[in-house]
Every structure is written in structure tokens, then in C-alpha cells.
């Protein structure tokens, strides 16, 4: 009798355990969109942090996920509508919280890349000087003070929008814009030296901002989101995320970016 | 300083109102700009989105072509033609000039490629431009098939750096890539265009790396676009008033210009909005440049700033003016009051002077409270101690009872008359002065205030002392009707009184009598002592005559030493009346016959008393009613007097009842009359 009871309990625990570690629902093909953005993804080479992360995620989940490349603004639009399931390296704000869930896997600071010949070295100077034009990627959000800067300049018609990072670098080189907001992975591969010669970096005095897997709330029920979040946490925990970042950054920067306290 | 203080508040209000106007104007301007900006941003987003979507659609279409090769694993010309034919690239895809295939031909396969192409029917097939190169990527098929000299078959885009860049990009990424601005191989004219390439790889190989993709490259499918046509085929409408330009790359140079929506018109408003948006189209950067023309602002702006500015400024000025009027109102009213008071005072002084000069007093009666206000001069005239606050009733108590009726009549008639400012109330009456005497006054008044129904409330007037005038009038009257020597009524007054007496007699039926007297022995006195002494006698005789008759009777000096005495209201019977009249006549005769002591004054102190004896011959005639005329009666009395004279003087002779009634009834009372002079009886 006791043996039978033990056997039954074993079955129950096994079932519970399997449920707890069960992967996400792969019964339908899922979609994930990348956007061209420095080291995150480059269409020219079809490689980047996001690409690696996506590959690893797909591998671990065992799901069939169709990966495509599109502008960031289009990605947010599709995430909101539920036509797209995932994207990567997203940051949140109140508006995005309505339609997107996140699974954080790295965190970084934002910087203002300013042309040296603009004579501006501080954020306030940039905001005050009416000749300065800021280049941003449409629909991008940043850290708090960076967002404030963008909003203020937008109101005074001093922002040039772009659907990708590449034309912003070109515009900066041609002095059509005098500054742009960048993240550590925005260092362009091709023109790094040319850019570095004429620009300087100003750090926004904000805490680091967490980036993560973007999940469409419309496309994925909370239970599924939880499973995907568990998968991402697993990737962080076993050092996969850090390994990916280490491919692109120096080890200490990779560690700094991936070792952060994720919000609950 | 005061003036400055008065200006301070209106200026402050003006400043505040103008500030508010400015705030509202500025707010409106900002809002308007914001709205305009928002409209412009929307248009920019919309424009870039439309281009993005269109390019994504073309990309997808090209992926279909790529899919065809991926599915079949070979380059089948017929399948390709059918496939492109089935795409039905109508006007909806007007931008696409051609869809074609370029084959990747390394130098080693050059000859084999030429042979293969020529075998397929292109006998004259050659790779253009010619010449040895490491690799070639000639166009091997174009749909729809192009005709004539401009056939792109054999054209090697790999030889063109612009195209080659895109082809390499597409090859390495496995993604679509577009060229920069270029002229299409099909076009004779220089029209801006670009080509989109998508690589075709050998089937069955992993393509996860760049090198793998390079190794298994077969060729490219491409689509050639004319920019102008592509833009014309975009869905949706561009907002009017906007100028759209698309540049290859991020530099807005003429060389890089791919498309311009409005080449001719370059009317930019002063507040023109302009923005650039950088598009990444199939891995290539485009710059979309949008700017507003003057009509954009007119169409989408609110244009109410000018109205606010004008209306606000106008209202501010009005408000300041109003404030100035309110602030200075008191000062201006005070100034006006001072001026008016000064003028009023001057006017009062003039009037006062005029009235005082004329000797008139002024009164002001309130007919409701019946209080009166009198001027000082009025109080002097009436000799009253009363000051202001006297009443109408107390005034009326002072009016002479005989004049009261006249006063009330004139007052009531005036007050009851229709309101007419030009009419005044005039009354002459006697008033009792402070010392109890009667004084004639002339009162003129005029209503100066009436109630809503026209009833008089207040009357103002003047009071003139007319005592002197009245006395003068009395003197004139005295001179006209009296004998200046004896002060007895003269013939004119006698005639008047005789008429009255005859009228009374007619009414009462009583007889009256008329005596005609002539002094006897009068002329010698005159001759001896002169007229002055004669006059004294006449005066004495007149006194004696007056003493002999009643008050109602009349003694008249008729001329020289002739007197007429009229007796009224005798008896109703002739005989009794005759007897009564005779008695009076006799009394008169007797009184006149008494000696006269006449004092003749010579110098300041000396005088002489003359004694004279004088008698009178009296003719008496009775009359009743209007039986006879005055002349008849006088004539009868005169005749009777003459008869008395004839009869020996100092007697009374009664005239017959009527001149024509015969003289038989006449009777005479004979008496002697003589005079003597009492010389030396001078009195000191």
C-alpha cells in the first residue's frame, strides 16, 4: 500500500515538475523581428548580438520562429497589433507596458555623440543652442534625461528622424546633424575611426536602462510570457547571454552590461 | 505730479491689458505653430511611411521572384516570364520599369556563358561593356521583354560601381539591396532611377555566413525603378502645400536628387517648416526632405493671431481710456463744479447787485412746506425781524385786509394757469411793516419748479417798495381833483360826486341839494390887502364850510370866491328835504358871516391880523334821481344865488324845483352882509 502511495506521489511530482520546466507553446510558427542597429544587427553581414540571441532563443525553445528585419517603428507597431510575437533589445515605458511584456537580458547607459566642432560639451549647451540638430531613430526611447532632451528638441523642430542608424552617422559626418544618442553597441563597424575623430561622447547622468526580449501581449498570453521569460533568465543564468556579448565587447563591458539587477 | 499720479493707473491697466493680449497672442501663436507643426510631422511620417511600405511591397514582390528560383533550383526563362506575367504589373506598380535576372559569371565561365546564351537564341548576344574582367554579372533576361537598341540583355551591371555596390551588399547579406541614383539601362533620357537586387543562391546549401553566400551565388533578380513613376504610384494623398524631395544618401545636393514633387514653385513662407527624415530602404539611405509652401500655413494654420493682436490692443486702449476717465472723472467734476460755482456766484452777485441796486427784495416760497426764504433787502423793506424760515401763512397775515382779496385772486389765478415760464404773477398790495405801518409793495413771482403733473412746487419772486410811487399817484390825483389853495374838491371831482349822488338818489329816492355860494364883499379885501390875504380868507371860509356839513357831503371851490356845496341823502319828500337843506344853508350862511381874523406874515417874525366881515349869497337847488342834468342843477343853484345877490346878499335863495317850473316856489333868507377891517390887530 505504502509503495503504491509513494508511486502515485512520484507520478504527481513528476507531472508537476514537467509542467514547471515545460517549454513555451510551439504549436504555431512564431515571428521575431530584428532591426538594423550597430552591433545589435547588421543586414550587411546578417550578424549581430540580436541575431545571436535570437538563434540561441530559437534553439532552446525548440519553436519555429520566422526572423525578419524591419524598421524599429514598424516593429513596435506590429508588436502592439499582435501581428509580431517578438523582438529584441527593447526598453520599456508606460505606453509600451500596455501592449508589450519584457524579459530583461542586458542593461546599458545612453550617451550623446556630439561633433567636436559644435563647441558643445554639456547637455544643457546642446539644448540651448538653436543651431544644433539632433538625429534620432523614429520610435526609439532612451533613458529619462535623454528622453527629455529628445522631447524638448522635437517641440522646437530640432530633431531629424531616421529609420535606421546608418544615415544618422552619415548625416553626422556631413554636419547635417550635430549629435545623436547612442548605446555601446552603436559603434559602427565601418566608420568607427572617421566618427571617432570628429566626435566626443557625453554621458547621460541616468541609471542604466534594462533591455530585453519584447513580447506582444496580444499575441502571447501571460503564461507564455512567463515561460519565455524563464527561458531568457535561464540564458542569463547559464552565461549564454554574457558569452554572446563577449563576442562583441570587451569582457568587462560585456559583464557590466549583462550583470544587472532585473526589475521584477 | 498729480497729473502723473492720475495717469499711473490707466498706464498700469494699459500695460497689464497689453501684457495679457501679448500672452494670449503668444499662446495662440504657439498653439497655432504647434498645430501646424503637428500637421507637418504627420505629413512627414505619412510620406516616409508610404515610401517605406511601397518599397517593402516591391521587396516582397522581388522575394517572390527569388522564391521562384529557390523552388525550381534552376534559371528557367519560361517560368520566369510566366511568373512575371502573372504578377500583372499594371499601373499600380508603375514604378517598376523591368524585372530581370543577372547571372553571376566568373571570368572562367565567360565563354561557356556566351555560348549558352547564344544557343538560347541570342545570336548577337554579348556582354556589355566588353573587355576582360574578373567576373561578370550580365543581364540574361528582362521582363517585360524590351525591344530595339536599348535591350539590356548582356548589359553587365557588375561593371557599374553604383550597381555593383548594391549587388555585393545583396549577395553578402542575402537581403534586398538598392543602388544609389542611377540611369536605367533602358532609358534614353537621363531620368533618376534605381535598381533593387536580391541574390539567388544555389539550392541546398547553408547560407549562414558571408563566405557561404559568396560561394553559392548564382545570380540576382532585380527590379529597375523610375523614381518619378514610383512616387506617382504611391497610395494615399500628400497634403497640399507641401514640397517633397527625396535624395539619394543623406546629402541634399542636386546630383543626389531622386525626386521632387514641385519643381516649378518655390514659394516658401517666412515661417516655412522643413524637416529631413532619413530612410533606410533595402539597406540604402535615402533622405526625405519635406518643406511647407506658403499655402500650407494658410490652409492649416488658424491665422487668428492678427485678430487677437488687433482686438486685444484695441480693447486695451479702450480699457485704459475708460480707467483714465474714471480716475480723472472726480477731478474733472470738481473742476467743473468749481467753475460752475464761480460762475453761479458771479451771476448771483450780478443779480444781487442788480436787485439791490433796484432796491428790490427777493423771496423764495416752497409751496409744499409753505416755508419762505427772504433776502435781506426784503426784510429791510417790510421792516421785519424775521429771518429765513418765515412762512407763507405768516406773510399773508401781514397783508392789508382790503388788499387780501386782490392778492388771493391774482395768486390763485396765476397758480391755476397752465404752466408757462414766460408768465409771471404780479400783485400790488399793502403789507404791515414791523412798526405797524402799512406799506405799498409790488410783488412779482414766477414758478420755478413743478411736480410731474405740472403742479407748482416752488415760486421765486421780487418785492418792490412802491410807497413813493403810490404817494406820487395820490398827489397827482389830489392835484387833478382838488383846489390847491383850499384843498377842497374842484369842479371835476364835484361832477364825479354829483353823478354818484344822483345815482344814489335814484336808488334811494331821497333828495339831494346843491348850494352855489358866492362870497359877498370879498373883492375889497383882495384889493386892499392883496391876493395872499384874500387867499387866507378863502381858506378860512373853506374850513368853516367843511365844518358845517357831514362827511358824506361835498364842499367844492368852484372858482374865485365861489363855492358849491352838495348835500346828499336828504329826505324822500320835497318839502322836508327843502327844509333840511335850508337849515344847512342857513347854518353855512351864519358860519361864513362871522368875522374873519386873518394873520398876514411879514418876514420871519412880524405879522398883522386883519379882521374882515364877509357874507355869502347862497343859491340852493334840490335834485332827485336823474330828473335833471348836472348842468341843469348847477344852473338852477347859480340862478338862485344870483337872485340872492340881487335880493341884497347875505341870504339863501331856494331855486325852484325845475328851471322850467317857475320861480314862484323860491324863497329867500335875507341878511345883511358887511365887512370891516380891523387894522392894527397884528399878532406877533
What is the Cα–Cα distance from B154 to A10, expressed in whole angstroms?
Answer: 74
C-alpha cell of B479? 392835484
Min Cα distance B169 → chain A (Å) is 6
Through-space distance between the first and last CA atoms of chain B, rounded to whole angstroms: 93
Q: Are B50 and B236 in contact (CB under 8 A)?
A: yes
State chain B's mean pLDDT as an integer.
83
DSSP letter for each residue of B376-426:
HHHHHHHT----TT-BHHHHHHTB-HHHHHHHHHHHHHHHHSPP-TT--EE
> Is the confidence at residue B628, as pLDDT, over 50?
yes
DSSP letter for each residue of A26-74:
-SS-EEEEE--BTTTBBTTTTBSHHHHHHHHHHHHH---EEEEE--HHH
If you average pLDDT over residues B435-440, what whole number do you get? 88
pLDDT at A238: 92
pLDDT at B318: 93
pLDDT at B264: 47
**What ipTM was assigned to the predicted interfaces of this complex?**
0.76
Q: Put residue B650 in one of left, alpha, beta given phi > 0 → left and psi -120 to 50 → alpha.
A: left
Compute the residue count for chain A.
Answer: 264
In our burial notation (b when 16+ CB lie closer than 10 A, e otherwise), range B477-501 reads eeeebbbeebebbbbebbbebbeeb
Q: Are B273 and B37 in contact (CB under 8 A)?
A: yes
**pLDDT tens by residue, A195-240:** 878 888 888 888 889 999 999 999 999 999 999 999 999 999 999 9
Q: Are B645 and B617 in contact (CB under 8 A)?
A: yes
Scanning every residue of chain A, which has its alpha carbon at the shortest distance from the alpha carbon of B38?
A155
Cβ neighbours of residue B534 closer than 8 Å, sequence gap 6 or more = B522, B525, B526, B561
> Is the confidence at residue B180, as pLDDT, over 60?
yes
Greater confidence (B639 vs B665) lies with: B639
What number of C-beta contacts closer than 8 Å exist between A and B?
Answer: 77
The four Cα atoms A208, A213, A219, A222 give a dihedral, to 10 degrees, of -70
Judge: B175–A43 Cβ closer than 8 Å, yes or no.
yes
What is the Cα–Cα distance from A41 to A43, expressed in whole angstroms?
Answer: 6
If you average pLDDT over residues B158-167, what whole number do you get? 90
**pLDDT tens by residue, B439-478:** 999 998 888 888 888 888 888 888 888 888 888 988 888 8
CA angle in degrees (0–180, nearest 5) for A59-A62-A65: 80
Q: Are B251 and B287 in contact (CB under 8 A)?
A: yes
Greater confidence (B530 vs A12) lies with: B530
- Of the candidates A43, A69, A176, the beta carbon closest to that of B250 is on A176
> Is the confidence at residue B523, as pLDDT, over 50?
yes
C-alpha cell of B428? 400790488
C-alpha cell of B453? 403733473
> Is the confidence at residue B57, as pLDDT, over 50?
yes
Bridge pairing between strands B652-654 and B615-623: parallel
What is the Cα–Cα distance from B638 to B642, expressed in whole angstroms?
Answer: 6
pLDDT at B677: 24
Q: Are B13 and B323 in contact (CB under 8 A)?
A: yes
Contacts of B283 in chain A (CB under 8 A): 36, 43-44
What is the Cα–Cα distance from B470 to B430, expressed in whole angstroms?
Answer: 11
How large is the angle between the packed helices A240-248 and A251-258, nearest 10 degrees? 140
What is the Cα–Cα distance from B628 to B511, expressed in whole angstroms?
Answer: 12
C-alpha cell of B425? 404773477
Q: Are B278 and A167 in contact (CB under 8 A)?
A: yes
- Of the candidates A43, A155, A162, the beta carbon closest to that of B283 is on A43
Scanning every residue of chain A, which has its alpha carbon at the shortest distance from the alpha carbon of B53?
A74
Greater confidence (B684 vs B448) lies with: B448
C-alpha cell of B319? 480699457
- Of the candidates B44, B175, B278, the beta carbon closest to that of A167 is on B278
pLDDT at B683: 30
Q: Are B286 and B247 in contact (CB under 8 A)?
A: yes
Instruction: Show which residues on chain B lie within 8 Å of chain A, measured between beta carbons.
Output: 34, 37, 44-45, 48, 52, 56, 169, 172-175, 210, 249-251, 273, 275-280, 283, 285-287
Judge: A138–B275 Cβ closer than 8 Å, yes or no.
no
What is the Cα–Cα distance from B677 to B272, expressed in whole angstroms?
Answer: 147
- Of the candidates A44, A157, A162, the beta carbon closest to that of B172 is on A44
Q: Put residue B184 in one of left, alpha, beta given phi > 0 → left and psi -120 to 50 → alpha.
A: beta
Helix spans in B445-518 (H) = 467-481, 491-508
Q: Are B137 and B175 in contact (CB under 8 A)?
A: no
Strand partners, B554: B566
What is the Cα–Cα distance from B489 to B558, expressed in whole angstroms?
Answer: 9
What is the Cα–Cα distance from B207 to B219, expressed in whole angstroms?
Answer: 15
- Of the candidates B172, B279, B287, the beta carbon closest to that of A45 is on B172
Instruction: Look at residues B279, B254, B92, B48 and name the one whose alpha carbon lies nearest to residue B178.
Output: B279
Judge: A71–B52 Cβ closer than 8 Å, yes or no.
yes
Sorting pLDDT into bands at 50, 70 and 90, what band is B313? very high
pTM of the shown model: 0.58
Judge: B173–A44 Cβ closer than 8 Å, yes or no.
yes
**pLDDT tens by residue, B328-370:** 888 888 889 999 999 988 888 787 777 777 788 888 888 889 8
Judge: B280–A69 Cβ closer than 8 Å, yes or no.
no
Contacts of B249 in chain A (CB under 8 A): 167, 170
**pLDDT tens by residue, B93-110:** 777 888 889 999 998 888
Instruction: Look at residues B573, B564, B675 and name the one whose alpha carbon lies nearest to residue B621.
Output: B564
Through-space distance between the first and last CA atoms of chain A, rounded to whole angstroms: 45
**pLDDT tens by residue, B258-268:** 888 865 455 55
Of B237-251, B498-512, B598-612, B661-675, highest mean pLDDT: B498-512
Judge: B277–A138 Cβ closer than 8 Å, yes or no.
yes
What is the Cα–Cα distance from B230 to B191, expressed in whole angstroms?
Answer: 12
CB count in 10 Å sphere of residue B110 = 16
Q: Is residue A135 classed as helix, strand or coil in its secondary structure?
A: strand
Q: Is residue B356 classed as helix, strand or coil in its secondary structure?
A: helix
- Report the run of H or E that residue B12 belongs to, with start and end: helix B2-72
**pLDDT tens by residue, A61-92:** 999 999 988 888 889 999 999 999 999 999 99
Strand partners, A90: A212
Contacts of B174 in chain A (CB under 8 A): 46
State chain A's mean pLDDT as an integer.
84
Judge: A167–B48 Cβ closer than 8 Å, yes or no.
no
Centroid of chain to Cα B426: 40
Helix spans in B140-209 (H) = 161-173
To probe the interface with A, which of B59, B278, B279 has the most A CB atoms within 10 Å? B278
Min Cα distance B308 → chain A (Å) is 23
Min Cα distance A71 → chain B (Å) is 8
**pLDDT tens by residue, B269-294:** 555 788 888 888 887 889 988 888 87
Contacts of B285 in chain A (CB under 8 A): 164, 166-167, 170
pLDDT at B339: 92
Centroid of chain to Cα B90: 79
pLDDT at B355: 74
In our burial notation (b when 16+ CB lie closer than 10 A, e otherwise), range A85-120 reads bbbbbbbbeeebeebbbbbbbbbbbbbbbbbeebeb
Cβ neighbours of residue B596 closer than 8 Å, sequence gap 6 or more = B537, B540, B541, B610, B611, B612, B613, B614
Q: What is the 3-state secondary structure (H, E, C) of B17-86?
A: HHHHHHHHHHHHHHHHHHHHHHHHHHHHHHHHHHHHHHHHHHHHHHHHHHHHHHHHCCCCHHHHHHHHHH
Q: Are A32 and A66 in contact (CB under 8 A)?
A: yes
What is the Cα–Cα distance from B195 to B162, expressed in whole angstroms?
Answer: 10
Sorting pLDDT into bands at 50, 70 and 90, what band is B303? confident
**pLDDT tens by residue, B600-625:** 877 666 678 888 888 888 998 889 88
If you average pLDDT over residues B574-599, what whole number do you get? 88
pLDDT at B669: 46
Cβ neighbours of residue B584 closer than 8 Å, sequence gap 6 or more = B513, B515, B548, B549, B565, B567
To probe the interface with B, which of A37, A41, A44, A48 has the most B CB atoms within 10 Å? A44
Q: Is residue B146 classed as helix, strand or coil in its secondary structure?
A: coil
Contacts of A74 in chain B (CB under 8 A): 52
CB count in 10 Å sphere of residue B469 = 13
Residues of chain A with pLDDT under 70: 1-22, 187-192, 262-264
Cβ neighbours of residue B494 closer than 8 Å, sequence gap 6 or more = B554, B556, B558, B564, B566
Scanning every residue of chain A, which has its alpha carbon at the shortest distance from the alpha carbon of B285?
A167
Residue B243: HSE in the Cβ half-sphere, 13 Å Cα cutoff: 18
Scanning every residue of chain B, which has its alpha carbon at the shortest distance from the alpha carbon of A158?
B275
Amino acid at each position: 500500500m505504502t509503495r503504491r502511495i509513494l508511486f502515485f506521489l512520484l507520478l504527481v511530482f513528476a507531472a508537476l515538475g514537467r509542467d514547471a520546466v515545460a517549454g513555451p507553446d510551439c504549436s504555431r510558427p512564431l515571428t521575431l523581428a530584428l532591426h538594423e542597429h550597430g552591433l545589435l544587427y547588421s543586414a550587411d553581414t546578417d550578424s549581430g548580438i540580436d541575431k545571436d540571441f535570437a538563434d540561441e532563443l530559437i534553439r532552446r525553445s525548440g519553436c519555429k520562429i520566422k526572423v525578419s528585419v524591419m524598421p524599429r517603428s514598424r516593429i513596435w507597431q506590429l508588436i502592439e497589433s499582435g501581428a509580431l510575437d517578438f523582438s529584441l533589445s527593447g526598453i520599456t515605458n508606460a505606453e509600451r507596458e500596455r501592449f508589450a511584456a519584457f524579459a530583461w537580458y542586458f542593461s546599458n547607459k545612453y550617451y550623446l555623440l556630439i561633433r567636436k566642432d559644435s563647441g558643445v560639451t554639456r547637455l544643457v549647451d546642446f539644448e540651448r543652442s538653436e543651431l544644433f540638430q539632433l538625429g534620432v531613430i523614429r520610435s526609439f526611447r532612451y533613458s529619462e534625461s535623454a528622453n527629455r532632451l529628445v522631447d524638448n528638441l522635437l517641440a522646437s523642430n530640432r530633431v531629424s528622424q531616421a529609420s535606421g542608424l546608418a544615415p544618422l552617422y552619415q548625416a553626422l559626418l556631413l554636419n547635417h546633424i550635430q549629435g545623436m544618442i547612442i548605446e555601446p553597441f552603436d559603434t559602427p563597424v565601418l566608420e568607427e575611426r572617421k566618427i571617432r575623430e570628429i566626435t566626443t561622447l557625453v554621458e547621460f547622468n541616468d541609471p542604466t536602462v534594462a533591455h530585453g526580449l519584447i513580447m506582444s501581449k496580444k499575441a502571447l498570453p501571460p503564461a507564455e510570457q512567463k515561460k519565455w521569460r524563464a527561458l531568457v533568465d535561464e540564458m542569463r543564468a547559464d552565461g549564454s547571454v554574457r558569452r554572446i556579448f563577449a563576442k562583441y565587447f570587451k569582457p568587462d563591458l560585456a559583464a557590466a552590461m549583462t550583470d544587472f539587477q532585473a526589475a521584477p | 505730479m498729480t497729473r502723473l499720479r492720475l495717469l499711473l493707473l490707466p498706464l498700469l491697466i494699459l500695460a497689464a491689458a497689453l501684457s495679457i493680449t501679448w500672452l494670449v497672442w503668444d499662446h495662440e501663436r504657439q498653439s497655432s505653430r504647434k498645430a501646424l507643426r503637428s500637421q507637418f510631422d504627420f505629413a512627414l511620417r505619412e510620406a516616409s511611411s508610404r515610401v517605406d511600405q511601397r518599397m517593402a511591397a516591391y521587396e516582397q514582390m522581388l522575394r517572390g521572384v527569388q522564391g521562384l528560383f529557390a523552388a525550381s533550383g534552376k534559371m528557367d526563362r519560361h517560368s520566369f516570364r510566366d511568373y512575371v506575367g502573372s504578377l500583372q504589373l499594371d499601373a499600380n506598380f508603375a514604378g517598376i520599369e523591368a524585372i530581370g535576372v543577372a547571372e553571376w559569371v566568373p571570368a572562367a565561365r565567360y565563354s561557356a556563358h556566351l555560348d549558352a546564351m547564344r544557343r538560347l537564341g541570342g545570336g548577337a548576344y554579348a556582354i556589355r561593356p566588353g573587355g576582360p574582367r574578373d567576373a561578370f554579372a550580365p543581364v540574361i533576361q528582362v521582363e517585360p521583354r524590351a525591344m530595339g537598341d536599348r535591350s539590356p540583355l548582356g548589359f553587365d551591371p557588375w561593371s557599374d560601381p553604383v550597381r555593383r555596390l548594391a549587388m555585393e551588399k545583396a549577395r553578402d547579406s542575402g537581403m534586398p539591396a538598392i543602388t544609389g541614383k542611377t540611369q536605367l539601362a533602358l532609358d534614353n533620357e537621363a531620368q533618376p532611377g534605381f535598381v533593387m537586387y536580391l541574390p539567388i543562391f544555389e539550392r541546398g546549401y547553408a547560407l549562414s555566413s558571408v563566405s557561404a553566400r559568396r560561394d553559392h551565388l548564382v545570380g540576382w533578380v532585380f527590379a529597375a525603378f523610375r523614381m518619378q513613376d514610383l512616387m506617382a504610384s504611391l497610395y494615399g494623398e500628400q497634403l497640399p502645400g507641401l514640397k517633397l524631395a527625396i535624395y539619394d544618401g543623406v546629402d541634399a545636393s542636386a546630383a543626389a536628387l531622386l525626386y521632387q514633387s514641385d519643381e516649378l514653385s518655390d514659394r516658401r513662407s517666412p515661417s516655412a517648416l522643413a524637416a529631413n527624415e532619413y530612410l533606410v530602404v533595402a539597406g540604402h539611405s535615402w533622405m526625405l526632405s519635406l518643406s511647407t509652401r506658403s499655402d500650407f500655413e494658410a490652409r492649416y494654420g488658424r491665422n487668428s493671431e492678427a485678430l487677437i493682436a488687433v482686438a486685444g490692443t484695441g480693447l486695451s486702449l479702450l480699457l485704459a481710456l475708460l480707467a483714465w476717465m474714471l480716475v480723472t472723472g472726480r477731478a474733472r467734476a470738481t473742476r467743473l463744479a468749481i467753475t460752475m460755482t464761480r460762475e453761479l456766484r458771479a451771476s448771483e452777485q450780478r443779480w444781487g447787485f442788480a436787485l439791490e441796486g433796484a432796491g428790490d427784495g427777493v423771496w423764495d416760497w416752497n409751496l409744499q412746506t409753505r416755508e419762505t426764504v427772504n433776502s435781506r433787502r426784503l426784510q429791510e423793506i417790510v421792516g421785519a425781524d424775521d429771518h429765513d424760515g418765515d412762512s407763507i401763512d405768516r406773510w399773508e397775515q401781514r397783508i392789508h385786509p382790503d388788499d387780501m382779496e386782490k392778492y388771493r385772486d391774482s395768486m390763485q389765478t396765476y397758480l391755476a394757469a397752465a404752466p408757462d415760464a414766460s408768465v409771471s404773477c404780479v400783485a400790488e398790495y399793502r403789507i404791515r411793516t414791523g412798526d405797524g405801518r402799512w406799506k405799498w409793495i409790488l410783488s412779482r413771482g414766477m414758478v420755478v419748479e413743478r411736480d410731474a403733473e405740472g403742479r407748482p412746487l416752488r415760486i421765486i419772486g421780487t418785492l418792490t417798495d412802491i410807497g413813493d410811487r403810490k404817494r406820487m399817484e395820490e398827489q397827482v390825483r389830489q392835484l387833478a381833483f382838488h383846489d390847491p389853495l383850499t384843498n377842497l374838491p374842484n369842479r371835476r371831482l364835484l361832477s364825479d360826486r354829483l353823478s354818484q349822488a344822483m345815482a344814489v338818489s335814484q336808488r334811494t329816492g331821497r333828495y339831494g341839494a346843491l348850494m352855489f355860494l358866492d362870497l359877498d364883499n370879498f373883492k375889497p379885501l383882495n384889493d386892499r390887502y392883496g391876493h395872499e390875504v384874500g387867499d387866507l380868507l378863502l381858506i378860512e371860509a373853506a374850513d368853516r364850510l367843511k365844518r358845517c356839513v357831514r362827511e358824506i357831503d361835498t364842499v367844492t371851490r368852484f372858482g374865485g370866491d365861489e363855492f358849491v356845496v352838495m348835500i346828499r341823502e336828504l329826505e324822500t319828500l320835497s318839502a322836508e328835504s327843502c327844509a333840511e337843506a335850508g337849515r344847512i344853508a342857513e347854518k353855512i350862511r351864519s358860519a361864513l358871516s362871522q368875522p374873519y381874523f386873518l394873520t398876514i406874515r411879514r418876514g420871519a417874525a412880524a405879522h398883522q391880523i386883519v379882521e374882515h366881515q364877509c357874507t355869502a349869497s347862497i343859491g340852493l337847488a334840490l335834485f332827485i334821481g336823474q330828473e335833471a342834468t348836472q348842468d341843469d342843477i348847477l344852473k338852477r343853484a347859480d340862478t338862485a344865488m344870483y337872485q340872492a345877490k340881487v335880493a341884497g346878499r347875505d341870504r339863501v335863495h331856494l331855486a325852484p324845483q325845475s328851471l322850467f317850473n317857475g320861480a314862484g316856489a323860491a324863497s329867500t333868507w335875507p341878511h345883511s352882509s358887511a365887512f370891516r377891517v380891523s387894522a392894527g390887530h397884528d399878532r406877533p
